[in-house]
A and B are shown apart, each in its own frame.
Chain A
Amino acid sequence: MDAGIRAKVSISHPGFLLDVDLHLPGSGVTALLGPSGAGKTLLLRTLAGLERARGSYVAVNGEVWQDDAAAVFIPTHRRALGYVFQEASLFPHLDVRGNLEYGMRRAGVTAAGLLPVATQLGIEGLLERRPHNLSGGERQRVAIARALLLQPQLLLLDEPLASLDIARREEILPYLERLHDALRVPCVYVTHMPEEAIRLADHLVLLDRGKVAASGPLQETLARLDLPPPFAADAATVIEATPVAFDAADHLTELRFSGGPLFVARRVEPAQGKVRCRIVARDVSITLQRQTDTSILNIFPAVVADLADTASAAQVLVRLDCGGTPLLAQLTRRSCHALGLTRGKSVWVQVKAVAVIR
C-alpha cells in the first residue's frame, strides 16, 4: 500500500503539453500554483477522471484510479473524491438541502452528518433557499460543504475563490483554513494566487507551461533559488512562529520562531497557536555585525546557505538558514561582494516587514 497521491499524467494537445510525474502527501493541503495556461485545471480534472489522458497513472492512498498500462480506469462517479469547481456549480432545480443531499445519498452517507458540516461552513440557515437566492460566497460555501459531505478520500478544489471579489474571498478563506486544521482528507487546491497558496498549503507544486517547476514542502519550496521567472519575480518565504506576548503600549506582538524573536505590528493571541508569516526577500537585509542603532526591530543571526543570480544583473538572491528555517534575501550584487558573502558565512539578518498571513 502506497500512502499519498501519485499522478503521472501526460497530455499532448496542439500547442500545449502537460507532462508531470507527482508524488503528493496523503494528508494536508497541496497547492497547485501557476500562471493561467500552466495546465493546473487539466491536471486536477485528470485526477478526477473528468479528463481521460491516455498513458496516465493516478493512485490515491494505494487505490489505483487510472492505470492505462493495466487498462484500469475508474469512472468519476466511482472515485471517492469531492470536487469544488471554479464557478458556482449548484443544481438550480434543487434547494440548498437538496444540493447537499444529492451527493450524500449516492455516497451512502447518513443524513445526520449534514448539519455539523453545514454549521461549520456557516450555511445552516440557508438550507431551504434556492441557489439563485444566494450570494456568490454563499454558493461556493454550499459547494464546498456538498463536496465535504461525501466524506471523500481526496478533496479537489479548482480555484474556488477565483470567481469571487476580494471581500467574498476573505469571507471564505477562514472557513478553508479551519477545514485545513480540522480535516484529515488530503486536498489538492488549484490557484494562480500565491497569497492563497501560502495561506492554505502545506505542500507546494509550482506548475509552469505544463511542467512541474518545483514540488515540496511549502517553506522549502518557496526558499528555492532555482525557480523559473514567474515564481522568482516576487521571491518571499514563509515562516511559522508562536505568539509569546502582546505589548499593548506599543501595540506589538512578540512571536518566536527557530531563528529567534520576531515582532509584528498587530495583536495575535497566544491561544491562536502557530501563525504563518510571509517575509518578502526585498525586505530582508544583511549585516556582518549586529546593528544596535537602527530602527529595525527584527534582527537575528543566520548562516548563508546558498546564493544565486536573478533575472536582474544587479540583484542576487541569498538563502539563509535561521536555526533551521529557510529565509530568502534579495541584495544587490555590489552589497554581496562588499560583505564577502559566501556559503557558510555567519551573518545578521534584518527584516523590515513581516506579514502575518494566518
Chain B
Amino acid sequence: MLSAEDLAALWLTLQLAVLVTLVLLVIGSPIAWWLARTRSAWKRPIAAIVALPLVLPPTVLGFYLLVAMGPSGPVGALTQATGLGLLPFTFAGLVVASVIYSMPFVVQPLQAAFAAVGERPLEVAATLRATPLDRFFSVAAPMAMPGFVTAAVLGFAHTVGEFGVVLMIGGNIPGQTRTVSVLIYDQVQALQTTHAHWLAGILLLFSFVVLLGIYTFGPARKMA
C-alpha cells in the first residue's frame, strides 16, 4: 500500500496544484480577457509567450527559471533584496515555476470562453447601466463559467503531472519539493516497482476522471 513517504508526496502535490490553480485563475483571467478582446499589435507576441510552455521542453524552461531565480539572476536579485531569500529548491519556487509552466492550460480555455461570450452581451449590459467591472463579473464571468471549470481542471491536472520543471527547480526534498511524479521516478530508479505501481495507478485514474469530466461539460452558453 502507500507509505508515509508516498502520502507526503501526494499531499504536497495536492497543495501545490490547488495553490497554483488559484494563482493561475487570478492572474490568468485578466490576461485571457485582454487576449480575447484586444486589437493591439501586442496580442500575438503575448499569446505566443503564454503558449511557450506548450512546446518548450520542461528542462529548458526549468533551466532558464533556475538561472533567473538563482543568486545572480534578475529574479533572484529581487527576491534577495526584498528579504524573501532564494526561490530554487523551495516550495515557493515550485509554485512560481508551476504557474508559468501551467499558464497556457488556464489562459487558453478562458480566452476561448471569453471570445465565445462575444461583445454583444457586454454592450447589452452597458445599456443596462453596468460599469465595465460590473459587466465582467455579472455577465462575462457567469457566461464563461464552463471555460473557468475547464481552465481550473486543466491547470490543476497539468500541475499534478509536471516532472521536468519540478526536478530542475525543486530538487527532490521530501515534504518540500518532492511531488508524486518525481517520487515515482525515484522509486523506479530504486527498483521499488510496487510503490511506483500504486502512485502511477492513482495518477492514471485521476487523469482519466479529469478528462471525462471535461468532455462531459458542454461548450460555453450562447445568448438566447
Contacts and interface: CB of A to CB of B under 8 A. Distances in A.
B224 A132 contact: yes
Given A77-B131, A106-B134, A92 B126 contact: no
Interface string B102-140: 000000000000000000110111111111101000110
A106 B132 CA distance: 13
Given A88-B223, A91-B223, A92-B223, A106 B121 contact: no
Interface in A195-233: none
A106 B127 CA distance: 11
Contacts of B224: 88, 90, 92, 130-132, 134, 139
A76 B126 contact: yes
A246 to B, nearest CB: 44
- Decide if the interface of chain B is mainly helix, strand, loop or mixed: helix
B130 A106 contact: yes
Contacts of B130: 77, 102, 106
Nearest to A99: B128
B219 interface: no
Interface stretch (A6-14, A27-35, A79-87, A177-185): A79-87
B138 A48 contact: no
Interface string A285-329: 000000000000000000000000000000000000000000000
Interface in B130-178: 130-132, 134, 138-139, 142-143, 145
A50 B223 contact: no
Contacts of A161: none
A92 B120 contact: no
Contacts of B37: none
B124 A89 contact: yes
A103 B138 CA distance: 12
Given A50-B123, A102-B138, A106-B134, A89 B223 contact: yes
A106 B124 CA distance: 13
Given A103-B129, A150-B128, A91 B139 contact: yes
Contacts of B143: 91-93
A146 B128 contact: yes
A331 interface: no
B142 A147 contact: no
Interface string A48-66: 1010000000000000000
B129 A106 contact: yes
A123 interface: no
A107 interface: yes
A75 interface: yes
A88 B121 CA distance: 10
A107 B134 CA distance: 13
A55 B115 CA distance: 31
A123 B53 CA distance: 52
Q: Which 5 pairs of residues, A with B, have the shortest CB-CB distance?
A: A103-B128, A131-B224, A106-B129, A83-B127, A76-B126
Given A107-B128, A139-B224, 18 more contacts: A77-B128, A77-B131, A78-B129, A81-B127, A82-B127, A83-B124, A85-B120, A88-B224, A91-B121, A92-B221, A92-B222, A92-B223, A92-B224, A93-B142, A106-B128, A106-B130, A131-B224, A134-B224
